[in-house]
Every structure is written in C-alpha cells, then in structure tokens.
Amino acid sequence: MTDPTFGISITRIDNEPRPAVWSDMAVVGIIGTAPEADVDAFQVDTPVFMYSDDAAKRTALGAEGTIAGAINLINAQLGEFQVAAKVVVVRVAEGADADETIINIVGNGSTTGLAAFVEAGPLLGVIPRLLCAPGFTSQREGTNANAVCAALPAICAKLLAHAVVDGPSTTEQAALDWRETLSSDRLIPVDPAVRVLAGTAETVVPMSPAVIGNAVRRAHEKQGRPFHSWANQSVRGIVGPSRPINFSLTDGATEGQRLLASNIGVLLRGEMGVETAIASGGFVFVGTDNAGEDDLWRFYNVTRGRDFIHLMFLRTLRFYLGRFNITGQTVQAVVNTMSFALRDLKADGDILGYEVKFTRDQNSPEQLRMGKFTVNFAAEEAPVLRYLAVQSARYRPALDALLDDLLAQVDAVTG
C-alpha cells in the first residue's frame, strides 16, 4: 500500500508479551471393552470423543464391558457445578480372556490399541492426559511386568499424559510385587479395587476411574491447573473397597502406610470416633506419588504441573516463530511472556518461585545468525503436604505467670 500524501497511516505493533495459553490437562482417556457398542459410533482402535453425560453416545457404547462402568465411576466423582468430564474412548476387541484383551490394548505400537490415543489430537482436537485401562493393568506372568503398564509410559510421554494403573487388589504382598515391576514417573499406581452396586448385586471394579474422576473434579476446582494432588479426597458412588486396608495417621507399620511408602495410592475407610483414621466416615483416596525413580519428581502434582508449564510455553511462544526477527525487543517480549505467565502461577500458589534468564553463555553470535536463541527458566512447584510433625513439650513460663498472679492476689489481700 502506498502512503497517502495527505492522510493518516495506522500500523498495529504486535510484538508485545503474549497472554499465556493453557492446555486442558483434565481430558480423560479410557481404553477397554464394549462388546455391545454400535460399531459405527465406536469403531475398534479409533479414538472417539464424548462428554461423560452424553446419553446418546452412552447408549451407543452399551452397558457391557469395562468402559461404561469406568464412565459411571468418573461421573460419581464430579463436583459442584460440574456437568461432565471430557472423555476420549478407545474401544478394543474383547478377547477370549484377559490376556487376549491385553494384547489388543497394547496394540501394534503405531495405529492400534494404546497408540490410538496419540491420534486423538489430530482427529478430535483434544488430547487425553489422564489415561486408564481399568481391569487390564494388574495381570502378570511370574516376575514379568504387566504388558499394558509396560506400554503406557511411551504413550504418556508422547502425549505429556499420566496414567492411573490398578494393582492386583488381592493382598499387600501382591501389590508390592506388582509395584516392583513399575518404573515411570508417568504411572500412578493404586490399590485395591472398589465395590459398586450393579443392579441389586455388588461387583468389584478397578479404582482407577474413581481416582481420575477426583482428578477431573480437582482440576475444575482449581480452574484447570493441575498443581494440586488428589489425596484426601472422598470417593463416591461405591459401597466400599474390595478389601479393607488397615491405616493409622500415626503408625507407619500399618498396611496403608507401607503401601504409601511404596508409592501406591490406597482407598481408606473413615472411622467414627477414631482420631488416627483418615476421616470420620465415608471412603477416602490417599495417594501423592508416581512410580518414578527420581525423588525430585516424586509427586504427580509436580510432574503434571511441569507438563502444564511446558505446554503453556509451547502454545504461547509459537506465536513468535517466523513472525519476528531476532531483535532486542523480540527477545525481551519472549522473556516477559514467560515471566508474566510464571508470575501468575506463583500468585495462585501453584509454584513457589521462578527465574527467567537470557544469558551470553547460552547464546552466541553464530546461534543468533542462524535464527536461534535460548532462554533459561527455572520454577519450583509447590510440594503436597503429606507429613506434619507436631512437637509437644511442657511450658514452664506458664508456671511463672501463675506464680506472679498468685503473688499479686496475695499482695492485694494482705496489703
């Protein structure tokens, strides 16, 4: 456009710091069986998006298999003003037994089974980041790991997701043996199972959907930010755990404490009048850990929080690529964008502090000439409170105060 000889030119300047763009970390991914499903609505090995209260899709899914019950359990955990969870369903063919179904869930690693979750983003526009395969994560042969648990970390890494995986729900030793086969900070182990009412009869179902339902509720309560754990949260819609877990807030030798020490989240029963119980009534999930090896990244609220920060930067900073040249103003805009986003997280108590730096030792003229520069950031996510020590002692100054008071009273009487 040619500038006018006599007129006005208006140009929009668009290299200011960008507002942070958040990713939805509470989209659920469920993989399992639905033998009565409408094959057109829920094709095998194909991700399908639905809201958990969608009556038409739930009818099309059918009541049989593992997926429908998992959705029921998720819905039971939703909170106030929360209508539904966002769910990506992957239906697999039901095998003649659990082992055959597990083979179908693991899939071929590229297009079928768990790999179908990777296609959810391109196909559906949503990415599931809370995964579960209820009923198919505890089976093992001898000392071998469960095949689904072995395959999940790679899928989770691609999606920046976490998976809640169910233990054997039989004995403490079985749970510990199963836990020893897990090694990923993207797996969140839980045990035992839960009992629910199906018609007029009780049935035992995996706990992972209930835990994920709590995660969805907590995300709703925290405006979508995943920096808070799901521990000490009531589990609803159940009649009890599949087996009782002995627990005391003050005794580390109880089964519940031993399982927690092994990073296994547990379901506990409240006990009226028992101060060392987790609650006075109901059923409560307690679990703060993932199954990784690095204690620096032990809490799943910390690893999920760091995923949130990385995704936030990806979605926010991509705006600058190709639109701007590397200038002092561009670099400052990027640094400010990152700083302002982290500032807001600190203000909300999601992180304790942060630092964003553009330094000479991380950048060179040659790198700048190639259109590249590096910004360093550090942040400290807030750890979950899982142990509170109270020191109890006598207080001698109270006796001094009492003595002073007594002397004052005596002086007042005797003059």
Domain ranges in the chain? 28-302, 326-381
261 class by beta-carbon count within 10 Å (0-12 exposed, 13-18 middle, 19+ buried): exposed
pLDDT of residue 17: 84
Q: What is the largest CA-CA distance in the chain?
A: 104
Nearest CA among 74, 151, 166 for reference residue 106 = 151
Instruction: State how far the Cα of 65 lies from the Cα of 62, in Å rounded to an integer.
Output: 8
Average pLDDT over residues 23-40: 97
Ramachandran category for residue 266: left, alpha or beta (phi over 0 → left; psi -120 to 50 → alpha)? beta
pLDDT tens per residue, range 87-101: 999 999 999 999 999
Average pLDDT over residues 311-323: 94
Bridge partners of residue 48, in order along the sequence: 89
- What confidence category does residue 158 fall into, taking pLDDT thresholds of 50, 70 and 90? very high
Coil, helix or strand at residue 314: helix
Residue 257 is classified by DSSP as H
Residue carrying structure tokens 């659920």: 28
Answer for the pair 205, 193: CB distance below 8 angstroms, yes or no.
yes
Report the share of the chain in percent with pLDDT over 70: 100
Model confidence, pTM: 0.93
Coil, helix or strand at residue 235: coil
Distance of CA 145 to the CA centre of its chain: 23
pLDDT of residue 415: 67
SS in 3 state form for 168-190? CCCCHHHHHHHHCCCCECCEEEE
Ramachandran category for residue 39: left, alpha or beta (phi over 0 → left; psi -120 to 50 → alpha)? alpha
Instruction: State how far the Cα of 68 lies from the Cα of 208, in Å rounded to an integer.
Output: 14
Domain 28-302 adopts which CATH fold?
Rossmann fold (3.40.50)
Distance of CA 45 to the CA centre of its chain: 24
Bridge partners of residue 148, in order along the sequence: none
List, in sequence order, every beta strand (DSSP E) within 11-98.
28-32, 47-51, 86-91
pLDDT tens per residue, range 194-249: 999 988 899 999 999 999 999 999 999 999 999 999 999 999 999 999 999 999 99
Average pLDDT, the chain: 95
